[in-house]
């Protein structure tokens, strides 16, 4: 065998590509298991020290790797409403999800039990704490079902026989046989104190930042820099866009002075590319990513949002002073003005909208589109009801290709 036929090791480009893929998987998924994704799991084990050190140094995240799974403990820099659990409708869903984990932590790997045993144990435990959950009430059973479905989706609970929907509908006359997984012990991250000791959600973040209190001046300075760096990277990794005016003064100076280093680090590890605009430092993926939700989404609300951005741009070009703008570049509209732009869009584009959007009133359509914009940090709503269109919206523009519509497409 000559040198040309010998098997060569991976190139630096291939290693970088693999690292970016597993880094994004760790950021996007609750965990990766050896059983479900053996290739990614082995890559994480091969590059464990590099991945562990990068996430710990830049974002303050902990990487846990066992014989069967890998998990990155992710903590937001700022808590946003969209960071909640999809499918959960009220606080009771979260409470029952947590107590479901409490019940499962006492079970051994592969141990089987019945749904009725689980819910009765949870109810008795809550009664001891002074809280009453009544499984005779349909709403309470429905909350438990939502929690159970999320536990099954995470893989910490396996349904052997039966479905929760039957129990939600019929109560005690239906049952489900489950099997426990040891993963239940790793869903919630650990806190320095008991959760009941915290009164506000912001305290969870503050505790994380101030868990270690240095004593000397140099140590205090280094801790402040580290805390600032962690919060900046957490927000840039987890939020769609962060504007300059959303940072504190110290964070903004850090982002502006360390812009090149931040950009190079995020490109190297996760493949994000950064560009500086007047209103802030933006990051984007140059190609579609299967691991993350990107804007514009597949939702028709994204289509209408981009059309809205194009219509607003046209109006501002025609009459620059038509809507007030503040020092951050945000456009302020009354709710009536926001609905008026949507109404003008409806007159020209409604035939190409989905049936759901065509049939909605302008007010209901405005609620949907505004909620979509807020979720992607493209708009905000003030307490007075004023709609604030954030600068990121101006980076999008969408219109229909009418010529293609005539040939059967848009």
Q: Which residues of 131-143 are buried (b: 16+ CB within 10 A; e: fewer)?
A: eebebeeeebbbb
Query: In the chain, what percentage of residues exceed pLDDT 90?
Result: 59
pLDDT for residue 82 is more than 50:
yes
**Residue 285 in contact with residue 236, Cβ under 8 Å?**
no
332 forms beta bridges with 388
What is the secondary structure of 61-128 as a DSSP string?
-EEEE-SSEEEEE---SS--GGGS-TT--SHHHHHHHHHHHHHHHTSPTT-EEEHHHHHHHHHHHHHH
206 — pLDDT class (breaks 50, 70, 90): low
- Across residues 79-96, what is the average pLDDT? 90
Measured distance CA(180)–CA(115) in Å, rounded? 12
211 — pLDDT class (breaks 50, 70, 90): very low
Per the model's pLDDT, the better-predicted residue between 45 and 202 turns out to be 45
CB atoms within 10 A of CB 215: 6
25, 29, 35, 40: CA torsion to nearest 10: 10
Whole-number pLDDT of residue 341: 94
Does a cis peptide bond (omega within 30 degrees of 0) precede residue 252? no
248 — pLDDT class (breaks 50, 70, 90): very high
pLDDT tens track for 267-288: 999 999 999 999 999 998 887 7
pLDDT tens track for 368-402: 999 999 999 999 999 898 999 999 999 998 887 76
- Across residues 207-234, what is the average pLDDT? 68
Cα–chain center distance at 93: 18
Q: In what order do the strands lie in the sheet with 62-65?
A: 32-33, 69-73, 62-65
């Amino acid at each position: 065998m000559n040198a040309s036929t010998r098997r060569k090791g991976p190139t630096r480009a291939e290693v970088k590509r693999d690292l970016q893929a597993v880094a994004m998987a760790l950021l996007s998924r609750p965990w990766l298991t050896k059983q479900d994704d053996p290739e990614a799991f082995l890559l994480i084990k091969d590059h464990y020290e590099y991945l562990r050190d990068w996430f710990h140094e830049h974002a303050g995240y902990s990487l846990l790797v066992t014989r069967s799974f890998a998990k990155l403990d992710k903590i937001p820099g700022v808590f946003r409403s969209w960071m909640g659990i999809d499918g959960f409708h009220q606080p009771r869903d979260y409470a029952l999800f947590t107590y479901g984990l409490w019940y499962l932590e006492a079970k051994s790997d592969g141990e089987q039990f019945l749904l009725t045993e689980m819910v009765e144990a949870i109810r008795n435990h809550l009664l001891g704490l002074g809280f009453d959950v009544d499984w005779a009430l349909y709403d309470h059973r429905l909350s438990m079902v939502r929690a159970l479905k999320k536990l099954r989706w995470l893989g910490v609970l396996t349904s052997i026989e039966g479905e929760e929907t039957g129990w939600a509908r019929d109560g005690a006359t239906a049952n489900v046989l489950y099997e426990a997984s040891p993963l239940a012990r790793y869903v919630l991250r650990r806190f320095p104190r008991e959760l009941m000791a915290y009164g506000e959600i912001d305290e969870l973040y503050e505790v994380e930042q101030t868990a270690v209190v240095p004593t000397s001046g140099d140590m205090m300075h280094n801790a402040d820099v580290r805390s600032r760096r962690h919060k900046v990277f957490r927000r840039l990794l987890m939020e769609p866009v962060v504007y300059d005016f959303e940072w504190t003064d110290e964070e903004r100076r850090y982002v502006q002075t360390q812009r090149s280093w931040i950009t190079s680090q995020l490109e190297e590890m996760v493949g994000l590319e950064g560009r500086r605009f007047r209103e802030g430092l933006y990051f984007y993926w140059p190609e579609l990513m299967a691991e993350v939700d990107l804007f514009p989404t597949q939702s028709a609300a994204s289509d209408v949002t981009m059309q809205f951005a194009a219509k607003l741009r046209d109006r501002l070009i025609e009459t620059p002073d038509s809507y007030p703008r503040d020092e951050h570049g945000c456009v302020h509209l009354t709710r009536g003005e926001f609905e008026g732009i949507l109404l003008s869009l409806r007159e020209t584009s409604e035939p190409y909208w989905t049936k759901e959007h065509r049939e909605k009133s302008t007010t209901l359509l405005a609620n949907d589109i505004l909620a979509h914009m807020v979720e992607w940090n493209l708009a905000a709503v003030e307490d007075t009801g004023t709609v604030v269109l954030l600068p990121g919206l101006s980076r999008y523009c969408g219109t229909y290709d009418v010529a293609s519509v005539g040939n059967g497409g848009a």
